Amino acid sequence: MNDHEFETEYGSAITNNVEYELLTKAAIANGFLQPEKPLVGFINIEGVRKTTADLKAAFPSHFSHHFAVKANGMTPVLSLLRECGILAETASPGELQQALKAGFTGKDIVFDEPAKTEYVIREVISLGAALHIDNFEEMERVRAIMAEQNDYTGEIGYRINPQVGSGKIKAMSTAGAHSKFGVPLEDEGNREQIIQDYLAHPWMKTVHTHVGSQGCPFDLIAQGLNKVVALAKEVNERAGEQRIESIDIGGGLRVNFYSDKVTPTFQQYADFLKENVPDLFTGEFRIKTEFGRSMMAKNGSILARVEYAKNSGGRHIATTHAGSQIAARTTFMPESWPLRLSAYTPEGDFKNGECVEQDVAGPCCFAGDVVAHQRKMPKLESGDCIMLHDTGAYYFSNPFYYNSLPTAAVYGYTINDGQVEFVQYRRQQTVEEMMAIIG
């Protein structure tokens, strides 16, 4: 979807919202936007609490919910989620350490890295975390390590690729015929080998699948889940006991990036699964989820200063400090990851006036560094502020050091009686700190 379609289908990018205006004014009053700090991020603390409460209320008690740490690995965010009763899903040694630093214990964590070294497998097992095996070669490593174990209390199982196809964003789909993730269930001989491994090893107690995230329709997800549930039932039947005790169904709930409305909701997703994958709701298996984007996206925003404005070929262009270094997915794949924007004056007032088509560009030195193409909104001028909405997932956790731009400060905030209260989640990175990272 290009920005013209975005505008036509959903109207103006953003209407005046009292909370966003209060946030912008408070950020400016607190000096968060300065010449040396022209970009800042925010996390809505009460929004996170409401989102997690909605998630837990939508599913029965035999469901547990693990946050995909890759979506936002900042320690204060993970700690907040833990306080809200959410567990952790990790996919690298670094994410594992982020989860531990935020207070999660091994039993709270599932580990999904597709390229696990022997070292990290041993670490995950020593912690008692759940381990999802990506392929048959990895299985051989795990088998050898588990032969040395006497007191492992976690859960190990295969990650299954049900091979049901891809959604509309191929890069976000993980259940195609040739996916890099998991053991392909339909390849010749694989199903029987999977079953034999479960029958041979009582410590294999779980099974995992994840069909994909943004752009994957519910029907496709249901097809994949039903295939994995059937596999788990067959294993248990042939074992003569409940060998597989839990099923991890991944995440996959898409986010609406075109308006403030949360759709689909966790309740809508739960209702769909109850009707279309009913075995998840009988209590026969404990069920784990791994939501990421749908938990955090709408609880984050980015505020940047407009540094310059100009006209080129009859088109207005605003050059801001929010670009590929913080919004890489939007600049490289704008049709798949469009963002809503809102404009504010230098004082933080919501900017009204005639809307004109304009490009909103970032600071990086390449032509594609544009967060909105031909977006119709109030004309941006030097000194104005631009807010990027729905950026609580992935936009803070994946800094891109293009042009050696430091990462921005991030603040958690609450609003009480019209007053915005901030707590620093991450301070502004200095140039020296950035240089130490990239060498």
Which tens digits make up the pLDDT trace of 261-312? 999 999 999 999 999 999 999 999 999 999 999 999 999 999 999 999 999 9
SS3 243: coil
Q: Report the DSSP beta bridge partners of residue 132.
A: 157
Average pLDDT (349-355) is 91
More confident residue, 211 or 378: 378
| Stretch among 176-190, 230-244, 326-340 having the lowest mean pLDDT | 176-190
Average pLDDT (198-202) is 97
Q: How confident is the model at residue 377 (pLDDT cuts 50, 70, 90)?
A: very high
H/E element, 378: strand 370-378
Q: How confident is the model at residue 336 (pLDDT cuts 50, 70, 90)?
A: confident
Burial class (CB in 10 A: 0-12, 13-18, 19+), 16: exposed
- Cα 353 to Cα 201, 343, 361: the distances in Å are 68, 11, 21
CATH class of 46-296: alpha beta
| Stretch among 120-134, 164-178, 363-377 having the lowest mean pLDDT | 164-178
pLDDT at 169 over 80: no
Tokens 């269930």 appear where?
185
Q: How far apart are CA 329 and CA 434, in angstroms?
A: 21
The number of beta carbons lying within 10 Å of the beta carbon of residue 66 is 26
> Where on the phi/psi map is residue 39: left (φ > 0), alpha (ψ -120 to 50), or beta?
beta
Domain range list for the chain: 3-43+297-438, 46-296
Average pLDDT (375-397) is 95
- 3-43+297-438 classified as CATH 2.40.37.20: no
pLDDT value of position 12:
42
Cβ within 8 Å of residue 64, ≥6 positions away: 87, 286, 287, 288, 289
Which amino acid belongs to residue 29? A
Helix residue ranges per DSSP H, 103-217: 118-127, 136-146, 190-200
**Residue 54 backbone dihedrals phi, psi, to 5 degrees:** -65, -40
- Cα 178 to Cα 61, 187, 249, 312: the distances in Å are 35, 10, 20, 44
pTM summary value: 0.92
pLDDT at 28 over 70: yes
pLDDT at 345 over 90: yes
- 79, 88 in Cβ contact below 8 A? no
Burial class (CB in 10 A: 0-12, 13-18, 19+), 412: buried
- 122, 145 in Cβ contact below 8 A? yes
pLDDT value of position 215:
63
More confident residue, 433 or 5: 433
> Where on the phi/psi map is residue 191: left (φ > 0), alpha (ψ -120 to 50), or beta?
alpha
Q: How confident is the model at residue 8 (pLDDT cuts 50, 70, 90)?
A: very low
- 374, 359 in Cβ contact below 8 A? yes
Average pLDDT (400-426) is 95
Q: How far apart are CA 248 and CA 206, in angstroms?
A: 7
Burial class (CB in 10 A: 0-12, 13-18, 19+), 22: middle
pLDDT value of position 9:
43
Average pLDDT (23-38) is 95
pLDDT value of position 230:
95
Q: How far apart are CA 44 and CA 77, in angstroms?
A: 10
pLDDT value of position 74:
97
pLDDT at 165 over 60: no
- 357, 373 in Cβ contact below 8 A? no
pLDDT at 438 over 90: no
Pairing of strands 206-208, 246-248: parallel
Which tens digits make up the pLDDT trace of 57-77? 999 999 999 999 999 999 999
Q: How confident is the model at residue 162 (pLDDT cuts 50, 70, 90)?
A: confident
Average pLDDT (307-328) is 95
